[in-house]
Amino acid sequence: MKVLQKYYKNIFIFDFNKTINDIPSNFIFLNSLDNLEMEFDIIDISTPSTTHIIVLKSILSKKIVFKKIIIEKPLFSSQDEYNLLLSIFDSYKGLKNKIYVNEQYYSSKALEKFSRSLNFNTINKISIDMSKNRLLDQINGRFIDSNLEAYGIEIPHILAVLDYLKINLDEITIEENNHYIDKNNYNNQGVSIHFKINNIDIFITSFLGDFYVKGHFKIPNNMNRSLCINEDNSINSSLKFDPVQNVERLYTEIRINDSINYLFDNLLDNHYRNIIHDKLPNQYSLEKILIINHLLLYLYKNKNTIYLGD
């Protein structure tokens, strides 16, 4: 919402779950979505993942007029939700052209610059890690995806980055797909996946609790949002997304061979601005989001669950 404040004077909030206690004074709270005789420039659905499509259907059924609608990722969390989405598309022609999923990594200036430096003929390994201890966030009310669990938080972002790097997600083979859970705290989870495509090994990891699994070892989790590219079995290039240790917030570290540069890259602001001004990069499309979402469901359904103790 803070991002939208930069572009719009009037911002309305409707709380489907009735959980918001303090409404900022510069926002307008709506008690109902019935009989809204106005046109909204943007409607932003940022409810829990499993309610995205239900909320979308409710908005449409109330005949609320809008130009664009933004939905948080993942767009859907189950096959039933996807089937409902298809029926909505059948009932509301042209809706696909108004829906945008909040996948901000497609709007990353740093990722754009970084990808131009890559030669995929020499790459043999790609590693992407997006890990952060979110246990305190959960205590403070941040929800986890009740259908996709740890797969529904950062894995969509990681798959979007792979897509941006022109990895064909339809052609990858899954070598390993592990879901780690602390047997003493079910919400303390992480994901580690190994893909292969052609001659490239792809490793993606996302640990969202107080532990991290590296090889056969369980170690304390440290915040990390990085993309590493290996050529000839050595790291030649890397990208460290915000936040970068000892660097001002919203700056990304780009390392290409021995050269290190820092680029201001406010992902969320970039993404919203691109949506508002119809300037989303060519790499983004709803069709790609659907591919990512289906792969997400497949990975969760076919995971190998490992319970860890002390």
pLDDT tens-digit map of 24-65: 677 888 888 998 989 999 999 998 899 999 999 999 999 999
CA distances 205 to 226, 233, 251, 282, Å, are 10, 19, 22, 27
122 three-class SS: coil
pLDDT tens-digit map of 68-80: 999 999 999 999 9
What CATH number does the domain located at 105-308 have?
3.30.360.10
Report DSSP letters for 161-200, one per residue: HHHHTT--TTT-EEEEEEEEEETTEEEEEEEEEEEEETTE
Please report where in the chains the tokens 């001004």 appear, as a residue: 277
Confidence (pLDDT) at 8: 85
Q: For every one of its 310 residues, what pLDDT tens digit does the chain have, with 9 covering 90 and above? A: 677 788 888 899 888 766 666 666 778 888 889 989 899 999 999 988 999 999 999 999 999 999 999 999 999 999 999 999 999 999 999 999 999 999 999 999 999 999 998 888 889 999 999 999 999 887 776 667 789 999 999 999 999 999 999 999 999 999 999 999 999 999 999 999 999 999 899 999 999 999 999 988 999 999 999 999 998 767 789 999 999 999 999 999 999 988 999 999 999 999 999 999 999 999 999 999 999 999 999 999 999 999 998 6
Q: Is 40 left (phi over 0), alpha (psi -120 to 50) or beta?
A: beta
> Which residues, at least 6 apart from 41, have a Cβ–Cβ distance to it below 8 Å?
8, 66, 67, 68, 276
Confidence (pLDDT) at 22: 63
> Which residues, at least 6 apart from 251, have a Cβ–Cβ distance to it below 8 Å?
242, 244, 262, 263, 264, 265
CA angle 81, 85, 86 (to 5 degrees): 120
Whether residue 182 contacts residue 209, with contact meaning beta carbons closer than 8 Å, is answered with: yes
Same fold, 2-102 and 105-308: no
Whether residue 147 contacts residue 183, with contact meaning beta carbons closer than 8 Å, is answered with: no
Task: Confirm whether pTM is higher than 0.85.
Answer: yes
Smallest Cα–Cα separation from 108: which of 224, 284, 267, 227? 267
Looking at domain 2-102, its CATH architecture is 3-Layer(aba) Sandwich (3.40)
**Which tokens belong to 43?**
């409607």
Give domain limits for the chain. Answer: 2-102, 105-308
